[in-house]
Amino acid sequence: MTEATIDMTTTAVLKANTATSGGREEFAHTISGTIGKPYLDGKDAKFFCRGVNVFYAGEKQAIFDVNMDIGRNEVISMIGPSGCGKSTFLRCLNRMNDTIAGCRVTGDIKLDGEDIHDKEQDPVLLRARVGMVFQKPNPFPKSIYDNVAYGPRLHGLASNRAELDDIVEQSLTKAGLFKEVKDRLQAPGTGLSGGQQQRLCIARTIAVSPEVILMDEPTSALDPIATATIEELIDELRASFTICIVTHSMQQAARISQRTAYFHMGYLVELNDTKTVFTNPQHQLTENYITGRFG
Amino acid sequence: MSTLGILLTLMLLAAFSYYIGRKRSLALATPAKRDGNDLHSLPSYYGYLVVVWAVIPALLVFALWSTLETPLLTSNMRSHLPAEYQDKSADELSLTTNRVLNLARDPAQLATADPIFKAAAEDYLQMQSMSQTIKTILVLALAIAGVFIGLRHVKPKTRARNQVERVVQFIMIGCASIAILTTVGIVFSVLIESYRFFGQVPATEFLFGTHWSPQTALRADQAGSSGSFGAVPLFVGTLLISAIALLIAVPLGLMSAIYLSEYAGPKLRAYAKPAMEILAGIPTVVYGFFAALTVAPFIRTLGEAMGLSVASESALAAGLVMGIMIIPFMSSLSDDVINAVPQSMRDGSYGMGATKSETIKQVILPAALPGIVGAFLLAASRAIGETMIVVMAAGLAANMTINPLEAVTTVTVQIVTLLTGDQEFDSAKTLAAFALGLSLFIVTLILNVVALHIVRKYREQYD
Amino acid sequence: MSTTTERVKATLGKRYAREKRFRFYGLASIALSILFLVILLADIIGKGYPAFTSTYIKLDVQLDAQTLGVSADSTPEQLRTANYNTVVQNSLNTLIPGVTERKEKKALKSLVSGDAQYELQRRVMDDPTLIGTNQSVWVLADDDIDTYYKGNIDRTLPEGDRRIKDFQLTWLDKLEADGRIESQFNTIFFTRGDSREPEEAGILSALIGSFYTLLVTLSLSFPIGVAAALYLEEFAPKNNFWVDLIEVNINNLAAVPSIVFGLLGLAVFIQLFGVPRSAPLVGGLVLTLMTLPTIIIAARAALRAVPPSIREGALGIGASKTQTVFQNVLPLAMPGILTGTIIGMAQALGETAPLLMIGMIAFIMDVPSSVTSPSTVLPVQIYLWSDSPERAFTERTSAAIMVLLAFLVSMNLLAVILRKRFERRW
Ligand SMILES: Nc1ncnc2c1ncn2[C@@H]1O[C@H](COP(=O)(O)OP(=O)(O)O)[C@@H](O)[C@H]1O
Ligand SMILES: [Mg+2]
C-alpha cells in the first residue's frame, strides 16, 4: 500500500520532470535560491530557517537547503506536488522528525532567536510551544474532556480542577466545538464526526497555549462543510497564533493564507505573498503547478 | 494382507489407473481440424478420474471397516463369554473384556492364561484375522471394480476436469471439517465419561467439596463406592500457581514488548526477539525439570536461610517457572497488540509534547487495553492448562491453601496422576480425570473464546 | 518568556526522571527474561555435559572354557547363556585380593556395571575363538563410581554421608594408580534404550519412538493441513455459517490445553476405535490434531501472501480455479507452508502431556520396530528419568534435554533458513 503510493509519487515526479526540465540535476540548476520574498525583517520573524536539509534513513535526502522566515501571527501555507517534502519540512519545525528512526536534520532553525536544535533546547518544551495538527484526525481513545486536558495535564498547566475545566472550556470554545459537545464532555472523543474530531484535535493543541500551530493537510480527510468550518477557525486563530499549514488545495491556500511557499522535489522554489503566487508566479515550476499542468 | 500392504497396493493401483486412464483418453480422442482434439478435458484429468473411481470408494470402505472393526469384534467377543461373566456388573464386564484383549495382544501371556479367557482370546484373534481377510478382499475388489467403472467413464464428452475438481473440493472440505470433528471429539470424550462420573459422585460434591483423596477409593469390600472427590482444593491450587505465574509473566512480558516495540533499536531487537523465541520454543518438560531440580531446591534453601518453612514442592517454584515460560507468549501477543495501535496516535501525543513514557502510559496502553486484556486471558488459559511443569514441580497432596510456600496440587496434575497409574476403567477414580478434564476444557474454552473475540474486535477497530 | 514555557520547564526534571525509570523497567524486563534463559541453559548444560562420558575399568579376564561352561564350537545359544558373571567376578577378585566380608564382597562386585558380563558375552559371541584366552577388557563402571570420578561425590564428607565408602575409595585409588580407570565417550547413551541402571541407559529407543510418532504426525497433518488451508483461503464461501464455525474451531483448538487432547486420544482413539495403546500411531494421531491448527494458520498466511496478480494472471489465460490454485498459487506458498510445518513439528517433538495420557510412558528398552509397537518419545523419556533420584540419571536427563534442544534448534534454524531463502518481495 505505502509502496504503491510512493511508486505513484515517483512516477508523478518523473513526469513532472520531463514536462519541465529533465532530470533532477538539470532542474536543481534552474533554482539559484528561492524566488520571491522568503525573508522577513528580523523582528517580524517567528521562525528563522537557513540551510535546512533533511535526510531519511539511508541518506535519502528529502529537503534541500531551504531558507525562509515565518512571520508572527501570519498564516503561511505550503503547497507543492505530493512527495515534495512539505510534511517533512513542517515536521522540522517542532522536531517531530526526531521520532523517526534514521531521520537527520541539518541547518539552522531558530524560534524567537533560539536555535531549536541547541543542546539546551528541549523537544518536549519546543512541542508545547509549537503544536501540531495532523492530516487524519487522531483523537486519543479518551473522553472529549480528557483529550483536551491531555496537554495541560502533561505540562502541569493547571493547578486545580477549576483551572483545568476553564482551559478545556476555552480551548473548545476557541475551536468552535464547545457548543456542540458541552453536554457530553465525558463521551469518547472517537465518537465525534470527522470534522468535529479535527476541531477537537485543534482544541487539544491550543489547550497548551502554543505560539505556533503546524497543520499538515488538516482538512484533506474532511467533507467540504467541515472544511469550511475549519478554514474559518484558522482565520480566527491567526489573532493569537502563528499558523503554518500544508495543503494540497490551492483554493484553500489562497483563501486563508497571507504568504504561500511552493515546494518542488525538496526545494523551496518560490515564497511570496499569496496573491502574488497565485496571480503572478515568478518561477516556471510554480506556474506549472498552479495552472494545473501537474500536481 | 496387512494394513500397510493394503495401502501400498492401493497406491500402486492408483498409479496404474492414472496411466491407463490417460492412455485410454488419448486413444479415444479423434483429432480435430486444427490442433488439439475433441476431448473435453486434458488427458491427465481422465487419468485422475479413473484414480478417483479406483481409490476413493475403496479407501472409504477401508477406513470405515478399520474404525468399526475393534469395537464390533470386542462386543462380539463379550457376547460369547460364558453367562456367569455376562451377568456381572458393567464395571466387571469391562474389566474382563480388557483382560481378554490384553491376552490377545500378548502371545506370551496367552500361553499361560486361564482357559476361559484363553478361549475367548483365541476366539477374538480368529475373528480378527477373518475380519482382516474379508477387509482385504473387499477393499481390493472394490478398487479393481473402480478401475473398470472409471475406464467406462473415459469418453471424450465426459467433463473429467469438473468431476475431478468436485472430488478435490470435497476432500478439502473434509480436511477443513476435521477441526470441527476434533472439537466434537473432545466434547464427546470428556462429556460421556464425566456423565458417568457424576452418576457415581454428585456434581455438588465435586464442585463444592473441599476434600480430595481419590487414592483411597475402591476398597476391596466396597466396590463402586469411592473416596472423596471434592475438587475445590484442586481449583484453588490451580488458581494459586496460575496467579503466581501471571504475576511474573504479565508485567515482564508486557514491559518487554513495550521496550522492544517503542524503545529498542534494531540491533537490540535483532538479538532480544530470537532470545524470546528460544524461550518460547523450549518444551515444557524442560521447564518442569528446571523447576523441580533447580528452582524448587533453591527456593527452599533461600526460604530456610530466612527462617521460613518452604515445602520442597512449593507452589512458588512451579508458579515462578511457569511464569518464565509464559513471558515470551505474553510478550509476543502484547507486541502484536501494541503494534496495531496506529502511528497517528503516537504522533498526536508526541506533537503535544509528551515524552515517550507518557505517550505509552497515557495513549498507547489505553488504546491497546482490549488487546492486552485478550492477551492476558490467553496467558491465563495457558497457565491453567499447563501440565508438565506442575506435574514435575508441584505436589500431589490436595492442600487447600493460598500460601505460595506450601505444596498444592492442580487439576492437570490430578488428571495425569489418575490416568497414568494402574487404571481400572470405569472406576470413579479414572472417570474423575475426565470430570476434571471437562472443567478444564470449559474454563479454557470460555477464556479463549472471550479473548479471541476481544482481540478480533480490537483489530477490526484499527483496520 | 510565556507562562506556558515557565510552567513546562518546571515539570521537565520530574518528567524526565519518570521517563528514565520507565525505560529502565522495560530494559530490565528484557534483561531478566534473557537472564532466565541463560540460567536455564547453563543449568541444563552444566548438569548434562558430564553424561557424554562414562568411566570404564580395565579388567583382565580369563575366558577359560571351564568357567564359562562352553567350548569354541558351542551353539550361539550356549554361548549366550554361558557363565560370564563368574569370569567378571574372578577378575575383580584377582585385582582386589583378600576381600572376605559379605558387604565388601558385594561392593566389589558392584564396582563394575551389570553390563560388564554382557560386554564379555558380546565379544565371545562375535569371536568364539576368544574362549580359552586371557583378555584385557575395558568394562563400564557402576554409576556410583562414575559419579565419583565426575567429582560429584565429595570424599572429605563423613563416610556415612556418601554413597562410596572408605574401603571402596582405597580400591579405586589402587585401580587408578594401575591405570585401570579411564573416561571414554558415552556411546551407550546414543545406541541403547532405557535401562534401570543409569550407566546403561540410552535415548535411542526414545529417539526412534519420537521419529515414528513425528512420521505419523507429519504424514497426516501436512496433507490435511494444506488441504484445509487451501479450502478456507481459496475456495470457501464468505459469510457461510460452516466456514465461520470451522475458523472459530481452528483458532480455539490452537489454545486448548494439550492435556485435553490426551483425554481425547484416550477416550476416542484407544477406547472407542481400539488403536493400540502406547504406540507411535496413537501418539501421532493425537499430535496431528494438535499441530493441525498451527499448520493451517501458517499455510493460510502463506497463501494470503501470494499476490492476487498471480491468480488473475492464471485465470486470465483460461485456467480453472482449481488449476490456478494447485499449479500457480500453491507452489509459491510452499516455502511458507513448509516453514509453518517445521515449526509445528518442532512443537510436536517437544510435546509431553498428551502422550502420558495415551500410555507412551512405558519402560521401553527395545528400539520400537513399527508405528504400532510400544514406544516412548524423547520428552517423555526425560520426564521418566527426571523422577529417578540417582545423580547419574539427573545427568542423563539433562543430556537428553540437550539432545532434544539440539533437534529443536536445528528444526527452527531450518525454518529460518527456508524463510530467508525464499523470502520474496512482491
Ligand atoms: N519516514 C520516511 N522515511 C523515508 N522516507 C520518507 C519518510 N517520510 C517521507 N519520506 C520521503 O520524503 C519525501 C517527502 O515526503 P513528504 O514530506 O511526506 O512529502 P509531502 O508531504 O510533500 O507529500 C518523499 O519522497 C517521501 O518518500
Ligand atoms: Mg504530506
Nearest ligand 1 atom, CA A263: 22
ipTM above 0.90, yes or no: yes
pLDDT at B425 over 70: no
What is the rounded distance in angstroms from the CA atom of residue B246 to the CA atom of residue B320? 9
Per-residue model confidence (pLDDT) at position C165: 83
- The candidate with the shortest Cα–Cα distance to B333, out of B287, B368, B282, is B368
What's the pLDDT tens digit per position in C74-95? 888 888 888 888 889 889 988 8
Per-residue model confidence (pLDDT) at position A294: 60
Per-residue model confidence (pLDDT) at position B31: 64
Count of C-beta atoms within a 10 Å radius of residue C377 = 31
Among C169, C198, C227, where does a domain finish?
A: C198
Q: Which residues surround ligand 2, an ion (CB under 5 A)?
A: A 87
What is the rounded distance in angstroms from the CA atom of residue B240 to the CA atom of residue B408? 8
- Which of A6, A8, A10, A56 should be mutated for ligand 1, with most atoms under 8 A from CB? A56
pLDDT at A17 over 50: no
Q: Are residues C168 and C272 in the same domain?
A: no
The answer to whether A7 faces chain C, any CB pair under 8 Å, is no
Per-residue model confidence (pLDDT) at position C35: 96
Q: Are residues C160 and C305 in the same domain?
A: no
The answer to whether A40 faces chain C, any CB pair under 8 Å, is no
Per-residue model confidence (pLDDT) at position A19: 38
Please indicate, yes or no, if residue A73 is contained in any of the structural domains: yes
Place of cell 513514557: B357
A92 lines ligand 1 (CB under 6 A): no
CB neighbours of C138 closer than 8 A, spacing ≥ 6? C56, C57, C58, C59, C182, C184
A220 lines ligand 1 (CB under 6 A): no
CB distance A140–B363 less than 8 Å?
A: yes
Structural domain of A148: 28-290
What is the rounded distance in angstroms from the CA atom of residue B90 to the CA atom of residue B107? 27
What is the rounded distance in angstroms from the CA atom of residue B48 to the CA atom of residue B52? 6
* Residue in B189, B252, B290 nearest the CB of C43: B290
What's the pLDDT tens digit per position in C128-168? 888 888 888 999 998 888 888 888 888 888 888 888 888 88
- The domain that contains A58 carries what CATH number? 3.40.50.300
Chain B neighbours (≥3 Cβ pairs under 8 A) are A, C
Residues of chain C positioned with their CB less than 8 A from the CB of B448:
251-252, 255-256
Nearest ligand 1 atom, CA A246: 21
Nearest ligand 1 atom, CA A88: 17
Are C18 and A167 within 8 A, CB to CB?
no
Q: What is the DSSP string of C317-346?
A: TT--HHHHIIIIIHHHHHHHHHHHHHHHHH
Per-residue model confidence (pLDDT) at position C152: 83
| Closest C-alpha residue for ligand 1 atom 24 | A83
A152 lines ligand 1 (CB under 6 A): no
Please indicate, yes or no, if residue A86 is contained in any of the structural domains: yes
pLDDT at A90 over 90: yes
Are C130 and C63 within 8 A, CB to CB?
yes
- The domain that contains C376 carries what CATH number? 1.10.3720.10
A78 lines ligand 1 (CB under 6 A): no
Per-residue model confidence (pLDDT) at position A214: 95
A150 lines ligand 1 (CB under 6 A): no
Per-residue model confidence (pLDDT) at position B76: 83
Per-residue model confidence (pLDDT) at position C82: 85
Interface of B to A at Cβ within 8 Å reads 265-266, 342, 344-355, 358, 362-363, 366-367
For residue A82, report the distance from its CA to the centre of ligand 2, in Å: 7
In eight-state DSSP terms, residue B298 is H
Q: Are residues C366 and C420 in the same domain?
A: yes
Residue A15 vs residue C213, higher pLDDT: C213
Nearest ligand 1 atom, CA A100: 1
Structural domain of C240: 204-424
Domain count, chain A: 1
CA distance C251 to chain A (A): 28
Q: Are residues C230 and C329 in the same domain?
A: yes
Q: Are residues C367 and C256 in the same domain?
A: yes
Among C168, C198, C228, where does a domain finish?
A: C198
What's the pLDDT tens digit per position in C22-57? 999 999 999 999 999 999 999 999 999 999 999 999
Task: Break chain B into its structural domains and give their ranges.
Answer: 3-158, 228-462
CB distance A134–B347 less than 8 Å?
A: yes
- The candidate with the shortest Cα–Cα distance to C15, out of B345, B362, A163, is B362
Q: Give alpha helix (H) positions in chain A.
A: 2-20, 24-29, 86-92, 123-129, 144-155, 161-174, 178-181, 194-206, 224-237, 250-256, 274-279, 284-290
Q: Are residues C416 and C288 in the same domain?
A: yes
pLDDT at B224 over 50: no
Please indicate, yes or no, if residue A35 is contained in any of the structural domains: yes
- The candidate with the shortest Cα–Cα distance to C253, out of B156, B452, B420, is B452
The chain-wide mean pLDDT, for chain C, equals 90
Please indicate, yes or no, if residue A114 is contained in any of the structural domains: yes
When pLDDT is averaged across residues C205-217 and rounded to a whole number, the result is: 96
When pLDDT is averaged across residues A121-143 and rounded to a whole number, the result is: 92
pLDDT above 90: percentage of residues in chain C = 48
Single-letter amino acid, residue B346:
R
Per-residue model confidence (pLDDT) at position B4: 81
pLDDT at B217 over 70: no
What is the rounded distance in angstroms from the CA atom of residue A138 to the CA atom of residue A143? 13
What is the rounded distance in angstroms from the CA atom of residue B292 to the CA atom of residue B314? 10
State the CATH class of domain B228-462.
mainly alpha
CB distance C11–A122 less than 8 Å?
A: no
- Which of A54, A88, A90 should be mutated for ligand 1, with most atoms under 8 A from CB? A88
Domain count, chain C: 3
The answer to whether A153 faces chain C, any CB pair under 8 Å, is no
